[in-house]
């Protein structure tokens, strides 16, 4: 590998002069600058960007760490990338598979040195383990878990979104609505918060909350959702609506209902959550809660840039509003 000293010898200047040229400092005259650049070109000298960044105390790189690259997280990444690039930085994606250990590893001091800051979608880590994170690098957490107050955090209005979805089906005449992909756990998670919204809509309408209609999914996939709803149908439990905790779950529900000869929305209404692009194209079009990806991206990137600029600023916890997008899978209109 060609060194800066070799470039300096070829150009007949000092290594400091070469450094000044490569770092675009104005103290070098035009003839000397041209001679140095010609030597760089002739020798094929390459700047060690990693070393330069370490000396400058920045890497010009932001990490977005998510459970997977599919569906929801892919759309979120598409919104975040241009906002990061507009600040002169690059976005790097890492995948954790929702593993607590993988999420914890991304927050180690050694790993964090690779980035100017990290956006972590927390899926596996709980509050107790997050308390053990010691890095002083800027971190913004995304997701629905409870997190320590010292971290900047953005989360969706999950309860409100689920309440809107369920109330919309009730307005369309549904009275027995399956909460597909939700859970009964008490800890704040995406699946439990969306179940709470489902409950709130029932209580507001004077309908009973029957825990038999809360149907967890494991693993979290369209195929698992299809199998789970087919099991509900086979059990004989009567239902006339399905609130799917995500659009991925809603796609599995569509398949299960079609397999069973049930029509959407005539026999069963259906609402998803995430408003994925594919939801528009699955007949008859899936009504879905729009999580407002552009606003989520602006929120988390704004929090991270603020944290990079001022590491001592008080942490902020922000909610991102949602809205219901009505399509053909439901009967009520707004």
CATH number of the structural domain spanning residue 151: 3.40.50.2300
CATH code for the domain of 40: 1.10.260.40
Domain that holds residue 23: 4-47
Q: Which residue has the tokens 């980035």?
A: 115
196 and 270, same domain (yes or no)? yes
| Residue 32 lies inside a defined structural domain of this protein | yes
Strand, coil or helix: what is 109?
A: helix
Question: For the chain, what is the domain count?
Answer: 3
103 and 164, same domain (yes or no)? no
281 and 162, same domain (yes or no)? yes
Q: How confident is the model at residue 3 (pLDDT cuts 50, 70, 90)?
A: confident
Q: Tokens in use for 243? A: 């609130």
162 and 279, same domain (yes or no)? yes
299 and 313, same domain (yes or no)? yes
| Residue 284 lies inside a defined structural domain of this protein | yes
Q: pLDDT at residue 210 above 90?
A: yes
Output the DSSP codes for 204-272.
HTT----GGGEE--SS-SHHHHHHHHHHHHHHT---SEEEESSHHHHHHHHHHHHHTT--TTTT-EEEE
| Residue 326 lies inside a defined structural domain of this protein | no
Q: Cα separation of 122 and 189, whole Å?
A: 10
Between 110-114, 119-123, 181-185, the lowest mean confidence (pLDDT) is in 110-114
Q: How confident is the model at residue 69 (pLDDT cuts 50, 70, 90)?
A: confident
92 and 67, same domain (yes or no)? yes
| Residue 332 lies inside a defined structural domain of this protein | no
Bridge-partner residues for 214, per DSSP?
A: 179
| Residue 121 lies inside a defined structural domain of this protein | yes
172 and 265, same domain (yes or no)? yes
171 and 286, same domain (yes or no)? yes
| Residue 330 lies inside a defined structural domain of this protein | no
Q: With b meaning 16 or more CB within 10 Å and e meaning fewer, what string describes 145-166?
A: bebeeebbbbbbbbbbbbbbbb
- In Å, how far are 48, 73, 122, 198 from 143, measured between CA atoms? 36, 11, 5, 19
Burial classification of residue 179, based on how many CB atoms lie within 10 Å of its CB (0-12 exposed, 13-18 middle, 19 or more buried)? buried
Express each pLDDT in 141-174 by its tens digit. Answer: 998 888 899 999 999 999 999 999 999 999 999 9
- Residue 288 has what pLDDT? 98
Q: Cα separation of 234 and 243, whole Å?
A: 18
162 and 309, same domain (yes or no)? no
| Residue 53 lies inside a defined structural domain of this protein | no
């Amino acid at each position: 590998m060609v060194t800066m000293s070799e470039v300096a010898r070829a150009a007949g200047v000092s290594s400091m002069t070469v450094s000044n040229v490569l770092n675009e400092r104005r103290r070098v005259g035009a003839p000397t600058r041209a001679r140095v650049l010609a030597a760089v070109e002739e020798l094929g000298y390459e700047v060690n960007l990693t070393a330069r960044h370490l000396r400058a105390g920045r890497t010009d790189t932001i990490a977005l760490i998510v459970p997977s690259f599919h569906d929801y997280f892919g759309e979120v990444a598409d919104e975040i990338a241009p906002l990061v690039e507009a600040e002169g930085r690059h976005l790097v994606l890492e995948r954790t598979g929702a593993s607590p250990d993988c999420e914890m590893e991304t927050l180690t001091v050694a790993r964090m040195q690779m980035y100017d800051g990290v956006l972590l979608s927390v899926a596996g880590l709980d509050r107790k383990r997050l308390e053990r994170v010691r890095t002083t690098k800027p971190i913004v957490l995304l997701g629905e878990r409870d997190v320590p107050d010292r971290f900047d955090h953005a989360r969706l209005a999950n309860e409100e979104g689920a309440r809107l979805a369920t109330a919309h089906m009730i307005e369309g005449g549904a009275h027995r609505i399956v909460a597909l992909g939700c859970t009964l756990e008490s800890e704040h998670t995406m699946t439990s918060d969306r179940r709470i919204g489902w409950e709130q809509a029932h209580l507001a309408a004077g309908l009973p909350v029957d825990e038999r209609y809360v149907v967890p999914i494991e693993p979290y996939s369209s195929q698992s959702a299809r199998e789970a709803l087919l099991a509900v149908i086979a059990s004989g439990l009567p239902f006339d609506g399905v609130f799917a905790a995500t659009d991925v779950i809603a796609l599995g529900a569509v398949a299960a209902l079609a397999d069973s000869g049930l029509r959407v929305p005539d026999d069963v209404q259906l609402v998803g959550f995430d408003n994925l692009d594919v939801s528009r194209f699955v007949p008859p079009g899936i009504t879905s809660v729009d999580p407002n990806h552009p606003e989520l991206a602006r929120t988390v990137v704004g929090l991270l840039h603020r944290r990079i600029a001022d590491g001592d600023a008080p942490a902020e916890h922000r909610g991102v509003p949602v809205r219901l997008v009505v399509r053909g899978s439901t009967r009520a209109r707004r």
